[in-house]
Amino acid sequence: GIQVEQSPPDLILQEGANSTLRCNFSDSVNNLQWFHQNPWGQLINLFYIPSGTKQNGRLSATTVATERYSLLYISSSQTTDSGVYFCAAQNSGGYQKVTFGTGTKLQVIP
Amino acid sequence: SQTIHQWPATLVQPVGSPLSLECTVEGTSNPNLYWYRQAAGRGLQLLFYSVGIGQISSEVPQNLSASRPQDRQFILSSKKLLLSDSGFYLCAWRRLHSGNTIYFGEGSWLTVV
C-alpha cells in the first residue's frame, strides 16, 4: 500500500513565527487531506487537497501530485495551533484505504 | 448535514474482558466506514474499513473484529482484551466514491488494566 511520511516529527515555534510541514507519499493519490489533532484528541479537517493550493486564514496547503508531496504552511503561529498535524492519503488504485502519516507534533510557545 | 457519533467516550476494562465500541453516521447513506487506533499519542493505524453492509476488510491481524450490521453502523469488538489493546480508537466515514473528505468521530479512550 501507499506509504506516507511527514517531516519534521517535532517542531517548537515562538508565537508569531511561520512554519512549513511536509508530507511525502509513495504513490499517485486521488485523496490527500491535512488534519489537526487538538490536545483532547479531536481530529479537525484542515484541507482536502489532492492537488493545487488552498488557503484558509493563516493556513495554506499545496500539493504537487506529480512530485508526490504536500506542504502545509502556518503563518503567524498562535499557541492554539499546538497539537499534532497529520496528512492522510489514498492512492489512485481504486482502493478505499486512507493511510495516515506519523504526524508532526507542533508546540507554539508564547 | 452529516454527523458521526461513537461511544463510549472512555472506558477502563480488565484484561480478558470483552469490548464493544459503536459508531453511527447520520445524514448520509452507503458511507465508507473506518476504524483507526492511535497508540502513544501518535500515528493512526487503520484497523478495519467497510464499503457496505457485512463487508469488512481487516488491515491488521489481531484479536479485534469489526461488524457492520446496518448501513450506517460500525462496531468494533473483542472477545478478550489484551493490555496492548489500550489506545485511542477513532471511527470515521466518507462518501462511497473516492475523492471525498474523511470525517472522524470524537474518539474512544480505552485503557486495559
pLDDT by residue (tens digit) across A54-110?
999 999 999 999 999 999 999 999 999 999 999 999 877 656 778 899 999 999 999
Q: Which residue of B has its CA nearest to A38?
A: B41
- Taking the C-alpha atoms of residue A49 and residue A71, their distance in angstroms, rounded to an integer, is 10
Mean pLDDT of B61-83: 93
pLDDT of residue A93: 64
The count of C-alpha atoms lying within 13 angstroms of the C-alpha of B94, restricted to the half-sphere facing its C-beta, is 20
pLDDT of residue B61: 65
Find chain A residues with C-beta within 8 A of B94's C-beta: 96, 98
Asked if the C-beta of A47 comes within 8 angstroms of chain B's C-beta atoms, the answer is no
DSSP B60: S
Calculate the CA B86 to chain-centre distance. Answer: 14
Q: What are phi and psi of A102, to 5 degrees?
A: -85, -5
Asked if the C-beta of B93 comes within 8 angstroms of chain A's C-beta atoms, the answer is no
Q: Determine the residue type at B13.
A: Q
- Taking the C-alpha atoms of residue B90 and residue A47, their distance in angstroms, rounded to an integer, is 19
Angstrom CA distances, A16 to A6, A59, A63, A69, stand at 23, 13, 24, 26
Q: Where do the DSSP E strands lie in chain B?
A: 3-7, 10-13, 19-26, 32-39, 42-52, 55-58, 64-70, 73-78, 87-94, 103-104, 108-112
Q: Residues for chain A: how many in total?
A: 110
Residue B72 CB partners (closer than 8 Å, separation 6+): B24, B25, B26, B28, B29, B31
Asked if the C-beta of A30 comes within 8 angstroms of chain B's C-beta atoms, the answer is yes
- Taking the C-alpha atoms of residue B109 and residue A97, their distance in angstroms, rounded to an integer, is 23
Q: Is pLDDT larger for residue B108 or for residue B59?
A: B108
- Taking the C-alpha atoms of residue B65 and residue B78, their distance in angstroms, rounded to an integer, is 6
pLDDT value at B83 more than 80: yes
- Taking the C-alpha atoms of residue B91 and residue B6, their distance in angstroms, rounded to an integer, is 7
Q: Which residue of A has its CA nearest to B94?
A: A96
68-87 of B, contacting A, C-beta below 8 A:
none
Asked if the C-beta of B102 comes within 8 angstroms of chain A's C-beta atoms, the answer is yes
Yes or no: say if A56 and A74 are a contact pair by the CB < 8 Å rule: no
pLDDT value at B98 more than 80: no
